[in-house]
C-alpha cells in the first residue's frame, strides 16, 4: 500500500531524513518509533507534500507522491499537528476541511463524528474543546472522505490513560472494520505491541529497524525458575554459563537452550518445579534497538 523508497530530506546543511526505505502492506498497522527529532513527522510531511522530497519517492496506493502529490493526498487521511479554526464549531471545521477533498454528505460527516464519539459537542466552538476532544475531531476530519491510508502522528500525545485506551480502540476498529491501512508514530513503545505487528524505529533521520516485534528480541533467552535446592542448582547453572538474577530469573548465555538448562538441573538431582520463559517487554526491546549502532542494522 505504501512504498517508501530511498527518501531523504535535507534542510540547509542538516540531513533530516537519510535514505529511508520500507513498505507498508495493505490493511496493516505500522508504528514508527523514535525520539523527538528522529524524523517521523518529517516523513509524514513528505508523504502529504507539505515538504518537498530531496531524494527518493513515496508511492501510496500505486500513486507517486513526487509525480502526483494531489492524487496521493486524495488517498490519505492524516492527523499531523492538528489545528482548527478556534472561532468556528467542530462541525464547521469538519465541513471546511472536507470541502478541500471532495463533496461529502452531511450524513457521512455526522457518521465520522459519531464514530469518534464527538456528537454531543460537535456544534460547540473548538475554542472550548479539551485536548482529548480536539484529538477526536482531528481523527474525525481525517476520516472524511474515507481514506485508504491513515497517518497518525504522535497519536497518544496529551491524552489521559482513558483517552489513550479509547483512541487505541478506535484505531483498531478503523483497521479491522474498515480495512484502513494505518501508519502511526510514537515515542512511547508501551502498549503498541497489541496494536501493531510490525514497527519501524528511527533515530537521527535514519531507519534502525523495521520488522515484527519478535525480530527485535535477539537477546539471550531468560527463564523464571522454581527449584527445590538453589545451592545445587547454582553450581549446575554456573557450569552452563548462565547468570542468576532477582526473583528466580536466570539468563542463559547467547545460544543457550532452556532444555539444556533443565537437563543439567535434573542431572544434578535438582527438582525443577516450574520453568517460565521471560520475554523482554517492548520498552526494553525499543531501548535496546535505539542503542544499537546504525551500521549494525540495515533496513530489511
Interacting residue ranges for other proteins, rule: CB under 8 A: 41-42, 44-45, 48-52, 70-71, 73-74, 76, 78, 80-85, 87-88, 92, 95-97, 99-103, 141, 153
> Residues for the chain: how many in total?
300
How far apart are CB 85 and other proteins at their closest, in Å?
Answer: 6
SS3 of residue 232 by DSSP: helix
Provide the grid cell at 223: 527463564
How far apart are CB 278 and other proteins at their closest, in Å?
Answer: 39
Q: What span, in angstroms and rounded, lies between the C-alpha atoms of 195 and 193?
A: 5
DSSP per-residue string spanning 255-276: T--HHHHHHHHHHTT--EEEEE
Q: Phi, psi (5° rounding) for residue 217?
A: -85, 75
Q: What span, in angstroms and rounded, lies between the C-alpha atoms of 156 and 135?
A: 9
How far apart are CB 99 and other proteins at their closest, in Å?
Answer: 5
How far apart are CB 7 and other proteins at their closest, in Å?
Answer: 15
Measured from the CB atom, the residue of 27 and 49 that comes closer to other proteins is 49
Q: Phi, psi (5° rounding) for residue 256?
A: -70, 150
How far apart are CB 16 and other proteins at their closest, in Å?
Answer: 10
Measured from the CB atom, the residue of 84 and 213 that comes closer to other proteins is 84
* Sheet-wide strand order for 222-227: 243-244, 249-251, 222-227, 272-278
Measured from the CB atom, the residue of 74 and 288 that comes closer to other proteins is 74
How far apart are CB 97 and other proteins at their closest, in Å?
Answer: 6
DSSP per-residue string spanning 101-121: T----HHHHHHHHHHTT-GGG
Measured from the CB atom, the residue of 45 and 174 that comes closer to other proteins is 45
SS3 of residue 118 by DSSP: coil
Measured from the CB atom, the residue of 31 and 216 that comes closer to other proteins is 31
| Peptide bond just before 101 cis, omega within 30 deg | no
| Residue recorded with cell 532444555 | 259
| Residue recorded with cell 497518544 | 156
Measured from the CB atom, the residue of 152 and 289 that comes closer to other proteins is 152
Measured from the CB atom, the residue of 84 and 155 that comes closer to other proteins is 84
Nearest Cα to 59, choosing from 181, 195, 212, 187? 181
How far apart are CB 15 and other proteins at their closest, in Å?
Answer: 15
Amino acid at each position: 500500500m505504501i512504498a517508501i523508497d530511498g527518501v531523504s530530506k535535507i534542510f540547509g546543511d542538516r540531513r533530516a531524513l537519510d535514505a529511508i526505505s520500507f513498505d507498508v502492506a495493505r490493511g496493516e498497522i505500522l508504528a514508527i518509533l523514535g525520539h523527538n527529532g528522529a524524523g517521523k513527522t518529517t516523513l509524514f510531511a513528505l508523504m502529504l507534500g507539505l515538504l518537498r522530497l530531496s531524494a527518493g519517492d513515496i508511492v501510496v496506493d500505486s500513486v507517486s507522491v513526487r509525480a502526483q502529490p494531489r492524487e496521493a493526498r486524495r488517498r490519505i487521511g492524516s492527523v499531523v499537528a492538528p489545528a482548527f479554526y478556534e472561532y468556528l464549531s467542530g462541525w464547521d471545521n469538519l465541513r471546511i476541511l472536507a470541502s478541500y477533498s471532495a463533496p461529502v454528505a452531511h450524513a457521512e460527516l455526522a457518521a465520522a463524528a459519531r464514530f469518534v464519539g464527538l456528537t454531543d459537542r460537535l456544534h460547540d466552538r473548538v475554542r472550548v474543546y479539551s485536548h482529548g476532544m480536539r484529538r477526536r475531531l482531528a481523527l474525525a476530519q481525517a476520516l472524511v472522505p474515507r481514506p485508504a491510508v491513515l497517518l497518525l502522528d504522535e497519536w497518544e500525545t496529551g491524552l489521559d490513560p482513558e483517552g489513550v485506551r479509547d483512541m487505541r480502540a478506535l484505531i483498531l476498529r478503523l483497521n479491522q472494520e474498515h480495512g484502513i491501512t494505518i501508519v502511526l508514530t510514537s515515542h512511547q513503545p508501551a502498549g503498541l505491541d497489541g496494536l501493531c505487528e510490525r514497527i519501524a524505529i528511527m533515530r537521527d533521520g535514519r531507519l534502525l529497524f523495521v520488522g515484527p516485534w519478535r525480530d527485535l528480541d535477539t537477546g539471550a533467552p531468560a527463564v523464571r525458575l522454581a527449584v527445590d535446592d538453589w545451592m545445587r542448582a547454582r553450581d549446575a547453572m554456573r557450569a552452563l554459563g548462565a547468570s542468576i538474577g532477582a526473583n528466580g530469573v536466570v539468563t542463559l548465555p547467547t545460544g543457550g537452550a532452556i532444555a539444556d538448562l533443565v537437563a543439567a538441573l535434573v542431572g544434578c538431582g535438582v527438582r525443577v518445579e516450574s520453568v517460565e520463559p521471560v520475554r523482554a517487554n517492548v520498552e526494553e526491546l525499543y531501548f535496546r534497538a535505539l542503542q544499537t549502532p546504525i551500521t549494525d542494522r540495515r533496513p530489511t
